[in-house]
Structure 1
Amino acid sequence: MMTVLNCVYHQHNPWLVLAAAVVCIISSWGVIRLHGRARDREGLQRVVWNFLTAILAGSAIWSTHFIALLGFDAGVPVEVDPALTVLSLLVAMVGTSVGFWVTTLGSQRLSPALGGAIVGLAIVAMHYSGMIAYRAKGIISWDWPYVYASILLSVTISAWALHVASCKAGKHAITFASALLVLAIVLLHFTGMTAFRVEPLMIDASVSNPVALQALGFAVAGVAFLIGCAGLASYLIDDGVRADSYRELQKMAMSDGLTGLANRRGFQERLEQEIQIANATGSSFALVGIDLDRFKEINDLRGHAAGDAVLRVLSHRMAATLSSSEFAGRVGGDEFAAIHRMESQASLMDFVGRLEAILNAPIDFDEYHVLPGASIGVAIYPDNAADKATLINNADLAMYRAKADVSRAVCFYQSSMDETVRQRRSLANDLREALERDELTIHYQVQTVISSGEIIGYEALLRWEHPVRGFIPPTEFIGIAEENGLILQLGEWVLRTACMKAATWEPPYKISVNISAVQFAYTNLPDVIAAILKESGLVPERLELELTETTIFADKDRALRILRQIKDLGVNVALDDFGTGYSSLDTLRSFPFDKIKLDRSFIIELESSPQAKAIIRAVLALGRSLSIPVLAEGIETEGQLALLKKEGCDEAQGYLLGRPAALEHILASGQIAIMDRSARASLVPASPAEKIAAGREESKQLADAGSLAERGWSIRRR
């Protein structure tokens, strides 16, 4: 080793040696980096990166050798063969290309070391082919132990370098591998040059121009430096592109593609940051949960394009109103969430007010006004929760409370909500089991003609007698059924059961069944009704469906289209709770209802309030002008009944006329009898031959129906 160092110090130009060292270090670091890119790629990209690696490696090895060679003082005149010099460059590039390609064969554990050994052989081949191009005027001889040592050092250290680079052992692996590659190139050159011996044949050195050779060496060093920088620049550019791509992918992963707001993952990450800030500073912030009220109806009526447009508009409006201390994201299909760092209670109320205004403002779509509406729940950290999961849960509880309460769109979390939610969840499970175990029943409340007392039909009312809690009113469990998706199954059971029972009645009274807003939103409700009518054998004209104005108002165009499909089946449709909706007159104008049911809230004040009496008188006049009969609900006193009769009300229903009762009790009272099989079959003749017999039976039923109706009225009066 000392001999090698002496050779370096005494026989080489130190400035060219320094230039060769700089080129070698920069280029080797770039080679290892580019090789890493090639190893991480597949297909054509790997081929391209391997090509760039080979170009830079060949240039680095050849330049280091050639620069140092030009700075070598052989003591005799020298010349350089251009063709052989270029050939040595090609040898370096081709040899290193093969070596780096073998290194990237990941199927073999020894591939990196084997490829590194080939790179070492390429360094050896380049050096000694370059020495053939070095023409010294003297007798050349070689010290073969140094030659063998140079080969061994080059192959061994190169294999070690690429093994380290491929294993990525530790954060300094790239630097260590680069240093090993530099060492392999340098030791090969100077050990090989130590083995080089020249005996002068002539003393005159005029043929050789040392200054020109040194100038050429510096020129080559400059070009090699530029090549190394170009290789390094390609790596840095790719690194920058990869960083940009990573940031873009991260942004895409954290953002909602439709709205541009943060998605669930992005919002969760921001929420964790806000919790850390609040813990560190002792501050608080509000988590706001948002659920759109009529998004499903918008999708069903206008299509998904309209739904997407609504989401985009709302998101843009939210983004435009957010300050630097506020954040919003889309965390579900029609669910949003927002964060507000609290400065005061007033700042929170201002933020919630802005959100409420945005979510309730109309949106124009294809010449239609869409009103999305939303339910908003608010929970405050750390006042309402000590961790992220609890905070999210509490905000959801508040939001669902707001959704269940039609009187308000914004609800703040309260600790009592936890117990309420647990009770509701327990009741929902019990309701599901009650439906499966056939624990639900239907009670029937009579409807009569006010002028004569004649029974015209019954309203089917669902009842639930809980085995532990006792009677649970429909006002409590119907909302739970709607929230938990049970209402469709429950509503269909009520409709089917009521129709099956009514089909056996004698006389054939009408049966009225309530349809909830959730049921009505079900797109194939008319098909369900038609199937039940066919299954039960009930004549369509005997079925009356009751809908509230709020059900229709949620999506008027769609509602009217569904109502017309139901009317086409022959089924009657009544407008329930009339007078308490949004636009009663417009609803009556848009669709010809078969009946108006006057809400009981007006009947309660009928005897004491002139205003209630005036409203009832106006509704009755409206019904007469539109030829729509009016039924008054909630009749509880003789005075109410007398006033309604005086004002010309058509029909009535209430506790005075008959409380809801099980069918067994009504049968026992004699108001209804069960029709036998032959009588039922005669109502729907199976063939023309049976029409005469069917007609006779129907005549008998009609005659009996009149006497039974009179008997039912007299029973009630007693």
Structure 2
Amino acid sequence: MRVLSCIVTEHNLWLVLLAAFVCISGGWITLGLLQRAEKTQGLQRGGWIFLTAVAAGSSVWCTHFIAMLAYEVGAPVTFDPILTMASFLLAVAGSSVGFAVMLSRTPQLAPELGGAGVGLAIATMHYTGMMAYHVDGIVEWNQSYVISSVVLSATLAAFAFNQAIRRPWRLAPQAALVLFVLAVVALHFTAMTAVSVTPLANDAGLVDSYALRAMAVAVAGGGLLIIGTGVASYMIDERASRESIEKLQHMALNDLLTGLPNRCSFSDYLRGEIERAKEDGAKLAVIGIDLDRFKEINDLRGHKAGDQALKAIGRRLARLIKDGEFVARVGGDEFAAAKRFLNQSELLDFVARLEKTMFEPIRIDDFETVTGASIGVAVYPDDGIDQERLVSNADLAMYRAKADIGRAVCFYESRMDEAARARHTLAQDLHRAVELDQLELHYQVQTSVISGEICGYEVLARWNHPEYGQVPPSEFIPIAEESGTILMIGEWVLRTACRQAASWDRPNKIAVNLSPVQFAHADLAKLIHSILLETGLSPARLELEITESTIIADKSRTLHVLRQIRTLGVTIAIDDFGTGYSSLETLRSFPFDKIKLDRSFMSEVERSIQAKAIVRAVLALGKSLEIPVLAEGVETNHQLEILRTEGCDEAQGFFLGRPKPVGQIFQPDHAADDGLGSSFSGRIPPVRMRRR
């Protein structure tokens, strides 16, 4: 009651209300700035803590100063400017320390300790300000009220920032503001209750109440200006943060080049549309789009022209879509689209519009081009009920369209596309086959036709698939070449064969097949040299076999690499001879060390006069060029006799020995019991045979 009596009877209530307004405004912005500081780290947090302390200190100081001016003492009043300014600085500095402690979260009671520190800073500010308050009278203090004011300030401030930092319930921010204002108000008016003034001169004219009110308004204006600065900083930072977040979201969900939604956006859209289609029974088409001639633009005109083409396509696709349609760029030259529909005609119209757009001419600088596209379509729920399956099926249909020159659009057909899926799965498994130790080498003997002596062994890769069993090279070598895995497999085969052969007691030669892909993508001569040094195999014991197609693909480069390899002391054999259209030109271009006659001639040599004539011609060619000839595919004694009669140098085939693991090659051959030559089980859709 003494405190309330002091407020009502000894203060100007209008100025008290003004002080309360300043205190509430300052408390609100202080808590807002504190929340911003809590979300930052390092120097940025230090800056926000200082700004929070300035807002808190100035608002509390202004509240104190206005309330002091509201105190009607009835005697002349003056203020010591140095102590007055010192009280302001103490409020700011003490608040800075308190906020730094409470945001450190160390120790566990940091918010409460920091809050109590802010409360003590407010008390220090108040009593320093009271020291600056000079009145012409006798001033007396009640120590109980002084102590109570300090305790109230520290306690209420601790509770206030407990709510502000920990936020234990939904209304914690509002509770924090109320408690903070109570801390300031309780301190000030309890402390003012503690003081009593006996004027020495009873002359009311010495106190200019108008001037005091004017000073209070000016102080309030200055305080609100400082608070307004904090508000402006908060709003600017909030707007900048929001704009930054919006920009980052746009960058995260949209393709930077074309402005279209990206893969992430497309995935989110599909997820929502599938759920919607489940509810309303509609159908959803997922469409994969791949540009056909985009690489040509990049190669002939540069990447800048390629970017311009993608931008033009992006703008056209953005203008194309209608309600219920969605288009995104999901990769380099890959786009994707989705269409919700009820009638098939709606889907066909959308696909027709896409096809028309993708085949429209594009002008880039001074030239005009048409990219074209392959389009694949999969429909929910007919072709899949989950997002991953739909996208995968649309891609399979798109790959089929790309393989068919006469078609730009293909709808998913399980019978035709599942073979491609199995092939794709096999390619993924093959990529891990080396590291999982699923590959092994088998060796097929090569013998002299005249003497029957062993001349060497051809190295053949075998794949033991954990699910499908033995997958022959005719299945996995083409897949490895298409996917690029042949580089890893080829290096493994070469290194392993050289290491195993180097450990043999007999210095037999080994023949290793090379793929055209290895010539195009690897520093082959350097690789072979390093493997020979690593394994210790003599270069003279290594023979590399290449096909005519390897040379035709890039003749000058291939011949240059072959000369580098031959310089190492390694011999070169031309494989599958007689099946190409430029065999004579190939022999003229490079002096091969051996000719391997293709197995197709041996399979017909016993009953075909033409096949026998070709065999005789190749053998004669080899003799005239002084190049030994090895006949592949010898499966009967009669075929071997024909080769002996015609003067063939070497032969290999099932009749002479089936491929065997390295541990069995020096054991007697039991061809009838060897199952390695059996055909594949057929559990994977067959592909075109290209390797033994």
With normalisation by structure 1, the TM-score equals: 0.64
Given that 1:514 and 1:547 are in contact with CA atoms closer than 8 Å, whether structure 2 keeps it comes out as: no
Distance 1:526 1:576 in 2: 27
Question: What is the deviation of 1:209?
Answer: 0.8
Pair 1:466–1:46, CA change in 2 (3 A): closer
Say yes or no: does 1:391 pair with 2:402. no
* Secondary structure of the corresponding residue to residue 384 of structure 2: coil
Q: Distance in 2 between matches of 1:339 and 1:362?
A: 24
Query: Offset of 1:640 from its aligned partner?
Result: 12
Partner of residue 219, structure 2: 220
Counterparts of 1:470 and 1:273, CA distance in 2: 41
**In structure 2, what is the equivalent of residue 436 of structure 1?**
439
Once the two structures are overlaid, the 10-residue window that deviates more, 466-475 or 342-351, is 466-475
Give aligned-pair identity as a percent. Answer: 40
Which stretch of the first structure deviates more once superposed, 288-297 or 2-11? 288-297
Residues 157-195 of structure 1: per-residue CA shift (max 9 Å, x gap)? 112222332224345433322222111011111222222
Q: What residue is the counterpart of 1:328 in the other structure?
A: 328
Distance 1:675 1:660 in 2: 6
Please tell me the residue identity of whatever aligns with 2:192. Answer: M
The aligned residue for residue 141 of structure 1 is 140
Specify whether residues 100 and 404 from structure 1 end up closer, same or farther in structure 2 by C-alpha distance, changes over 3 A only: same
Give the alignment of 1:695-714 within 5 angstroms: none
Provide the rounded CA distance (Å) in 1 between the counterparts of 2:71 and 2:62.
14
Q: For 1:623-662, list aligned pairs within 5 A.
A: 661-662=633-634
Amino acid at match of 1:141: E
Could you tell me the TM-score, scaled by structure 2's length?
0.66
- 1:558-612, Cα deviation, whole Å (9 max, x unpaired): x355245257568779999999xxxxxxxx9xxx95389xxxxxxxxxxxxxxxx
Structure 2 spans left out of the alignment, 5+ residues:
447-457, 497-510, 567-571, 589-597, 615-619, 622-630, 653-692
Instruction: Determine the C-alpha separation between the residues in 1 that align with 2:204 and 2:439.
Output: 112
Q: Assess if the C-alpha contact under 8 Å between 1:289 and 1:376 holds in 2.
A: yes
The answer to whether the aligner puts 1:155 opposite 2:176 as a matched pair is no
Q: Is the 8 Å Cα contact of residues 358 and 371 (structure 2) preserved in structure 1?
A: no
Query: What CA deviation, in whole Å up to 9, does each residue of 1:5-27 have, x standing for no partner?
Result: 34333333332222212211111
Aligned to 1:108: 107
Structure 2 Cα separation of the partners of residues 66 and 264 of structure 1: 61
Structure 1 position 143, deviation (Å): 3.4
1:670 maps to which residue? 643
* Structure 1 contact 395–413 (Cα < 8 Å) conserved: yes
Q: Does the aligned pair in 1 maintain the 2:440–2:462 contact within 8 Å?
A: no
State the Cα distance separating 1:206 from its structure 2 match.
0.5
User: Does the CA-based 8 Å contact 1:124-1:151 persist in structure 2?
Assistant: yes
1:193 maps to amino acid:
M
Deviations 1:638-665 (A, max 9, x none): 99979x99xxxxx99xxxxxx9834666
How far off is 1:198 after superposition? Answer: 2.5
**Residue 206 of structure 2 aligns to a residue in which SS?**
coil
The SS at the match of 2:238 is helix
Q: Is the 8 A contact 2:59 2:227 kept in 1?
A: yes
Partner residue in 1 for 2:586: 594
Residue 104 of structure 1 aligns to a residue whose secondary structure is helix
Q: More deviation in 403-412 or 221-230? A: 403-412
Q: Secondary structure at the match of 1:411?
A: strand
Distance of aligned partners of 1:662 and 1:9 in 2 relative to their CA distance in 1, 3 Å threshold: farther
State how far apart, in whole Å, the 2-side matches of 1:169 and 1:337 are: 49
Query: Match of 1:312, as an amino acid?
Result: D
Change (3 A) 1:15 1:350: farther
Question: Per the alignment, in what secondary structure is the counterpart of residue 186 of structure 1?
Answer: helix
- Name the structure 1 match of 2:12: 13
Report the AA paired with residue 339 of structure 1.
A
Greater shift in the superposed pair: 147-156 or 110-119: 110-119
Is the Cα–Cα contact under 8 Å of residues 548 and 578 in structure 1 kept in the other structure? no
SS at structure 2 position matched to 1:547: helix
Q: Closer, same or farther in 2 for the Cα pair 1:521/1:396, shift >3 Å?
A: farther
Q: Deviations over 1:126-163 (max 9, x none)?
A: 22222233333433223333222211110101122223
| Whole-angstrom distance in 2 between the partners of 1:538 and 1:486 | 23
Structural mapping, 1:686-697, within 5 Å: none
Q: Indicate if the aligned counterparts of 2:290 and 2:373 stay in contact, CA closer than 8 A.
A: yes
Q: Which residue identity lines up with residue 439 of structure 2 in the other structure?
A: E
Q: How does 1:210-289 map to 2 (within 5 A)?
A: 210-255=209-254, 262-276=261-275, 278=277, 283-289=282-288
Q: Does 1:338 align with 2:336?
A: yes
**Letter matched to residue 346 of structure 1:** L
Classify 1:470/1:49 alpha carbon distance in 2 versus 1 (closer, same or farther; 3 Å). closer
Q: Describe the superposition over 1:474-533 as per-residue Cα deviations: whole angstroms up to 9, x where unpaired.
A: 986654444555545777899999xxxxxxxxxxxxxx9998764554333576799999
Equivalent position of 2:121 in the other structure: 122
> Paired residue for 2:508?
none
* Matched-pair contact (CA < 8 Å) for 2:355–2:373: no
Q: Is 1:30 paired with 2:29?
A: yes
Q: CA RMSD, aligned part only? A: 5.6
Which residue of structure 1 lines up, in the alignment, with residue 557 of structure 2?
562
- State the 1:208 CA deviation: 0.6
- Distance of 1:441 and 1:408 partners within structure 2: 45
Preserved contact between residue 441 and residue 464 of structure 1 (Cα < 8 Å): no
Q: Distance in 1 between matches of 2:242 and 2:110?
A: 29
State the Cα deviation string for residues 106-131 of structure 1 (Å, max 9, x = none).
33222222222121111112222222
Change (3 A) 1:4 1:351: farther
Amino acid across the alignment from 1:594? T
1:90 partner letter: L
Q: CA deviation at 1:221?
A: 1.3
Q: Deviations over 1:40-59 (max 9, x none)?
A: 43333233222212211111
| Cα shift at 1:104 | 3.1
Q: Which amino acid aligns with 1:54?
A: A
The equivalent of 2:182 in structure 1 is 183
